[in-house]
A and B are shown apart, each in its own frame.
Chain A
Amino acid sequence: MIRITFLLILLVGVSFAPKLNEEHMEKISKQLTFEKISSQNILIIKNISGSISVEGYQGDQVLVDINKLIKAENKTDLDEGIKDISLGLINTGDSILLYTDSPYATLTRKNGKISYQWDNDYGDIDYDFSFDYTVKIPFGTQLNVSTVNDGDVRITDTKSTVRAGNVNGSVYLEKVSAVSKASTVNGVVECEIIAKPDKNCSFNTINGDIKIVVPSDLSADVTYKTMNGDFYTNFDIEILPFKVKRTEDKSKSGTTYKIERNPNFRIGGGDVNMKFRTINGDMILKKTK
């Protein structure tokens, strides 16, 4: 009897597993221009699902190629997906913002800050969607790009500050001049920085390694925080006194008093701060060969 029930559950389970037979593929191409050309020009991509690949080039247009893919079990769901999901684009003249637009997305701009939220709490959506970005940007354009699911973030050959985020995927920065923040949750963070960092930067992940390669004239104070990882470097380091952070939080469940002492060391003159944080992974900081 038990065996029969088990079989039934198995059958039911299999029959409910969605077969996404219906597909809608669309190629989107855009040539975008910053009206006010300055060093403050920035390209922002807020992606939800799909990969982002950006490359710097000698030119003044932002060239965007997107593979938009919607998958569903049946035609009705697919049509709903096609209707819901579209590419959002805002060009303010000195910044270009590309995002996944849908009834579930809210984009707010306050004092120049962009907040983008995705909220489909009020019902599951019956289709899958993804935007795979391939972008070329003028060398001097700043970047702030992020995705959440089904893809890596890969940035190559840029000459301005990069900020890159992911959640379920990795972040790879190759031959970039400057990084402000590179972070993910489930994936690795790898950066090859080709200029001496002159601004603070941070590298975060939860489940994955962090591997940073920087020029050998690096001058930084490094702090790191990890649970199960270790820090490896071939720079000469000078161990600094621990940085002590004291916090006091009041909540319903009482007051929490906390002391955190994180390892702290100096490379060169300690001109900028570099922060590393991972829970399950190692951190590597290496000189460019």
Chain B
Amino acid sequence: MKTFRKIVTTTGTFLILGLLLVAQETNKEELTIPLSNPGQPGKLECGLVSGSIKITGYSGNEIHIVATQPVKKVKIEKEASDPDKAGLKKITTSSFNLSAEENNNVVEVHSNSWRSAINLEIEVPQQFSLDVGTVNNGTVTIDNVEGTIEASNVNGSVTLTNVSGSVITNTVNGKVLVIMNRIDADTPMSFVSFNGDVDVTLPGSVNASAKMKSSSGDIYTDFEVDFEKKKTRVDESDEEGVYQVSIDEYVYGNLNGGGPEFVFKTHHGDIYLRKKK
């Protein structure tokens, strides 16, 4: 029993050590980009390979970027296979490149996030359009922005709160959460995930034709949806002797009499369509 306790304490010590090692220092850099036409509509484009993007609308007229990146420790690697490198330390501190190009209120942000993850916190004027996305090791979060918003992720969630205008958003592995205050009329929108819930809150007065599908989940809503009954579309095509039938399993329904098409779709997960209170 005593030995057992000893083992537990040793493991505990190792755990604490491990945690200390994980708690790394971070590099932090800031970049401020003035717009050529302050006060006019503009657009931010930013695509990361690794890292998070957090965008907040504010009352200013500049784009303000805070970039952080964890500092990597120096590792010693034995590369006996290569005689040139045998016994040498491999230095793995990461370099850091961030650049932003501004042209006529369109701002493109570039980084070397494909080499090591960079987290970006960006402040944009409240009325601004966005086209942002990441792939790995991060989330996409947008708050208090009004404009044409495109937000994507692959391995992580997309969260849009307090946004207005129009939204196209998708991820593969993660939740899509969208809360909209006001929406542009006659603009189709799309809210898509593959492994994750799609949770969308829209103003109660929205006119839209919803097209919804969850392959292995359920659809929940507090809207009074005027469902089109049994509207299963079967598309048949006969091309060069190959006969193909595809059955469309979407649920169609109109919100407040119908309007532009809003797509809500996931494979593993539920769909929530909520009325803004």
Contacts and interface: CB of A to CB of B under 8 A. Distances in A.
A196 interface: no
Given A232-B90, A284-B85, A286-B88, A260 B102 contact: no
Contact of A258 (B32, B90, B95, B99): B99
A234 B94 CA distance: 19
Interface residues on B, range: 20 to 34
B98 interface: yes
Interface stretch (A22-30, A124-132, A147-155, A237-245): A237-245
B95 A259 contact: no
Contacts of B36: 254-255
Nearest to A284: B84
A257 B93 CA distance: 23
A258 B31 CA distance: 8
Interface stretch (A3-11, A91-99, A111-119, A261-269): A261-269
B29 interface: yes
B97 interface: yes
| Chain A interface helix/strand/loop/mixed | strand
B118 to A, nearest CB: 11
B88 A284 contact: yes
B263 interface: no
Contact of A225 (B67, B79, B95, B104): B95
Contacts of B115: 227
B88 A239 contact: no
B185 interface: no
A271 to B, nearest CB: 20
Interface in A223-255: 225-227, 230-234, 237, 239, 242, 244, 253-255
A225 B96 CA distance: 10
A158 to B, nearest CB: 24
Residue from A253, A259, A263 having most chain B Cβ neighbours under 10 A? A259
A283 to B, nearest CB: 9
B97 to A, nearest CB: 5
Contacts of B33: 255, 257
A286 B33 CA distance: 42
Contacts of A237: 74, 89, 91
A242 B96 contact: yes
B85 A254 contact: no
Contact of B101 (A226, A255, A282): A255
B98 A233 contact: no
A212 to B, nearest CB: 12
B9 interface: no
B29 A253 contact: no
B39 interface: no
Contact of B91 (A254, A261, A263): A263
A253 B97 contact: no
B171 to A, nearest CB: 28
A196 to B, nearest CB: 20
A286 B88 CA distance: 8
A263 B87 CA distance: 21
B92 interface: yes
B99 A233 contact: no
A19 to B, nearest CB: 41
Contacts of A231: 90-91
A21 interface: no
Contacts of B95: 225-226, 260-263
A178 B52 CA distance: 46
A233 B103 contact: no
A211 interface: yes
A232 B31 contact: no
Contacts of A257: 31-33, 99-102
B98 A253 contact: no
B100 A256 contact: yes
B27 interface: yes
13 contacts: A230-B90, A237-B74, A242-B27, A255-B101, A255-B102, A256-B100, A257-B31, A257-B32, A257-B99, A258-B99, A259-B67, A261-B96, A263-B94
8 A-B pairs with the lowest CB-CB distances in the bound complex, closest first: A254-B103, A261-B96, A232-B88, A258-B99, A231-B91, A263-B93, A256-B101, A259-B98
Interface of A: 209, 211, 225-227, 230-234, 237, 239, 242, 244, 253-263, 265, 282, 284, 286
Given A231-B90, A256-B101, A261-B96, 11 more contacts: A230-B92, A232-B79, A233-B89, A233-B91, A234-B88, A234-B89, A239-B74, A253-B101, A255-B33, A257-B31, A282-B85
